[in-house]
Amino acid sequence: MTTSSRVAVVIPGTNKLEVMDVTLPDPGPYQVVVEQQASGVCHSQLHQIHSPRKHPVILGHEATGVVLAIGSEVKHVAVGDDVLVTWVPRSPQPEYRPAAAVTLDLPDGTRATSQNVFTWATTTIADEQYIVKAPPGTPKDLGSIIGCAVMTGAGAVLNSAQVKPGESVAVWGVGGVGLSAIAAARQSGANPIIAVDLDDAKLEFAKRFGATLTVNASKGDAVEGVRALTPGERSTDVGGVDHSFDCIGKSITIKQTIGGARSGWWAERRGGSAYLVGVPTEEVTLDVMPLLIGEKRFIGSLGGSSIPEEDFPKFIEWYQKGEFDLDALITERVKLDDINEIVHELEAGKVAGRAILDLS
C-alpha cells in the first residue's frame, strides 16, 4: 500500500524544520504504520535540531494515533487500534532484536533518518517495539505526552526512586517532565514536595500538580533554600531531601540536585539520592567528595526507567480519577505547519507545561 504523510524535517545547516509531503515505505515484518492524532514537542529535541549534521533528520518521539497497517510479525496491535508511540521499548524483549532506524526519501532526492521513531508527522512508521496499545480511556490529544514527558518524569519517581509515603522530594525544573515528577510524588505520598525553578509563575503552577513548597533559584542559593525547608533531625544536619530530581540536565542544576539531597549519618543512615532525569547537553565536572562523605547516591534515570505497557495504564488511571491534570499540563497547541514557532517558544522558556502538535 502507498501511504502519504506530511513530515517536519530538520534541514542541514539551517536549524529549521521544513514540512514536506513524503511517501512512507510499506511496513516490514516488525513495523507498524500509524495515522497520528497528536504529538508532544519535547525539549530534548532542541539539541538534535541544533546539532551539526550533513543529512536531513526527522524528529519527535511521543504521540497518539490509529494503526493503519502492520507487518506480518506484529501481534500485539491490529489495524484500527488506538495506540501510543514512544521511544522506549514497550516491554522487555525475551530475545534482543535491534530495531532499524526509519529512512524516508524526500522530494529533492535526499534521505532523512530518525533515531528510532519520528512523530512530528501526520502519519508515521515505526518498529512494533515502540507502539503501545492505548489503555482504555486514553484521550486522543492529551495522551500524546504520555510517551515521553509523563513517562520520564513520573517514571523517575515511581521506578528509579521508588519514593515512599512520607519521604521528601525536590524537583529542579518544572516544565512538562518536572510537573509529571511532582504529580507522581504526590501519588506516592511524598512530603514535602519542593518545586525549584527560576520563575514564580511556573512555581505557582507547580502547586496544581502537588508541590507543597517552592524555591525560586533566581532569588538566592537554591540548595540552601531546599535545605532550609528540610532541616533534618539533628542540630548538626545541613538539611536536604530524600530524593532530588534534576529535570533539566544543565551543569548547574546537576550540582544543585546533588547538593539538595540530604547527607547521611556515618554508620547510621545513608544519605539521600539525586537523579539525573533531564538530558545533559554540556560537559559536567563534579566535586565527588559530598557524594562520598554524605554517602549520597547519584543515579541516572533514562525515560523514567519505565516499561510502557506496565506504566502507561497507571498514568491514564490517574487522569481518569482526576488525580493527574493532563489538561493543565498541556499549555500550548499548534498545527504541524507552526512547528518552528513553537520550537522557538520552547527555546525561550515560554512554554509553561508541555506543547503538542494537533495532527488531526
Q: Is the pLDDT of residue 236 over 80?
A: no
Q: Is the pLDDT of residue 237 over 90?
A: no
Q: What angle do CA 338, 10, 132 make, to 5 degrees?
A: 80
In angstroms, the CA 7 to CA 337 distance is 10
Residues 6 or more apart in contact with residue 34 via CB below 8 angstroms: 63, 65, 66, 67, 68, 83, 85, 123, 124, 125, 126, 131
Cα Rg for the chain, rounded, in angstroms? Answer: 21
Q: Is the pLDDT of residue 267 over 80?
A: no
Mean pLDDT across 320-329 = 95
In angstroms, the CA 286 to CA 46 distance is 25
Mean pLDDT, the chain, rounded, equals 94
What is residue 238's predicted lDDT score, i.e. its pLDDT? 83
Are 103 and 58 in contact by the 8 Å Cβ rule? The answer is no
Mean pLDDT across 41-64 = 90
Q: Is the pLDDT of residue 70 over 80?
A: yes
Are 245 and 276 in contact by the 8 Å Cβ rule? The answer is no
pLDDT class for 268, splitting at 50, 70, 90?
confident
Please give the domain boundaries of the chain with CATH numbers for all domains: 3-134+329-358 (3.90.180.10), 149-304 (3.40.50.720)
What is residue 282's predicted lDDT score, i.e. its pLDDT? 87
Q: What is the pLDDT of residues 123-173, one digit of tens each?
A: 999 999 999 999 999 999 999 999 999 999 999 999 999 999 999 999 999
Q: What are phi and psi of 91, to 5 degrees?
A: -160, 160
Q: Is the pLDDT of residue 46 over 90?
A: no
Mean pLDDT across 2-8 = 94
SS3 for 37?
A: strand
Beta bridge partners of 246: 172, 276
Mean pLDDT across 207-235 = 94
Mean pLDDT across 308-325 = 96
Secondary structure tally for the chain: helices H, strands E:
10, 18
- Checking DSSP bridges between strand 213-216 and strand 193-197, what pairing results, if any? parallel
Q: pTM of this prediction?
A: 0.94
% of the chain beyond a pLDDT of 70 = 99
In angstroms, the CA 179 to CA 232 distance is 25
Residues 6 or more apart in contact with residue 122 via CB below 8 angstroms: 5, 6, 7, 35, 36, 336, 359
The Cα-based distances of 103 to 55, 256, 312, 322 in angstroms read: 11, 40, 28, 40
% of the chain beyond a pLDDT of 90 = 84
- Checking DSSP bridges between strand 354-358 and strand 123-127, what pairing results, if any? unpaired
Mean pLDDT across 20-25 = 96
Q: Is the pLDDT of residue 43 over 80?
A: yes
What is residue 235's predicted lDDT score, i.e. its pLDDT? 65
Q: Pick the range with the lowest mean pLDDT from 20-24, 84-88, 103-107, 268-272.
A: 268-272
